[in-house]
């Protein structure tokens, strides 16, 4: 019964839950609650939610056998789309408040801050995954769809580079994220080897 309810209401609940941080961010922005550097707060918040959702999506496959929960797979696509939503929001905030939608500024920032190239490349690689995430594409692309989803590996690597490259003082977060991503990589490679 509980499992049935989870399968039925799990996705809408997940979407509502994932929208709560955005609602909190909008509320804080409208009430001067983003601190002394509101732009920085918006960039960091959207970036962190993008990263956590991306990690959750990447973790589904390796965690599934541990919890013996095949139903976890049903949430993977939603998690991926939510991650893409937050990364796109992050990109819009950066483009608006740091780049001012000006190509000259974009060029300058890209040459000065390589971590932006890593972040932008990750977003670009997420595009085909988001576009082909519907049932029609899954049916049409069949084996190629699986190949498209191998993009998850370079995406995770680029997302990590994007964060590690920004470090100015403490490497703690970059190391923790790196270890999580690396262990998920290992689990996935083990699984791939078994299925070959």
Residues that bind ligand HEM (CB under 6 A): 40, 43-44, 47-48, 50-51, 54, 87, 90-91, 94, 98, 116, 119-120, 122-123, 159, 162-163, 166
Name the minimum Å distance from CB 69 to ligand HEM: 25
In the complex, minimum distance from the CB of residue 127 to ligand HEM, in angstroms, rounded to a whole number: 11
Nearer to ligand HEM, 77 or 90 (CB): 90
Contact 42, 28 (CB under 8 A): no
Tell me the closest approach of the beta carbon of residue 171 to ligand HEM, in angstroms. Answer: 12
- Cβ of 85: how many Cβ atoms within 10 Å? 19
Q: Which residues lie closer than 8 Å to 166 by C-beta, 6 or more apart?
A: 115
Cβ closer to ligand HEM: 145 or 165? 165
27, HSE (Cβ side, Cα atoms, 13 Å): 6
Output phi, psi for 177, to 5 deg.
-60, -40
**How many other β-carbons are positioned within 10 Å of the β-carbon of residue 73?**
11
Nearer to ligand HEM, 50 or 72 (CB): 50
């Amino acid at each position: 019964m509980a499992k049935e309810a989870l399968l039925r209401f799990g996705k809408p609940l997940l979407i509502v839950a994932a929208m709560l941080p955005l609602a909190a961010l909008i509320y804080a922005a409208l009430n001067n609650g983003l601190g002394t550097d509101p732009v920085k707060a918006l960039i960091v918040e959207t970036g962190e939610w993008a990263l956590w959702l991306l990690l959750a999506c990447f973790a589904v496959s390796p965690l599934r056998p541990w919890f013996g929960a095949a139903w976890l797979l049903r949430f993977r696509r939603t998690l991926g789309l939510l991650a893409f939503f937050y990364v796109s929001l992050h990109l819009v905030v950066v483009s608006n408040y740091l780049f001012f939608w000006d190509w000259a500024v974009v060029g300058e920032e890209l040459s000065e801050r390589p971590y932006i190239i890593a972040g932008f490349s990750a977003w670009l690689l997420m595009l085909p995954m988001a576009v082909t995430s519907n049932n029609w594409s899954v049916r049409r692309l069949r084996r190629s769809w699986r190949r498209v989803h191998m993009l998850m590996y370079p995406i995770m690597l680029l997302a990590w580079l994007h964060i590690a490259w920004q470090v100015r003082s403490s490497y703690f977060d970059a190391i923790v994220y790196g270890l999580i991503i690396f262990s998920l990589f290992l689990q996935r490679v083990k699984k791939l080897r078994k299925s070959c």
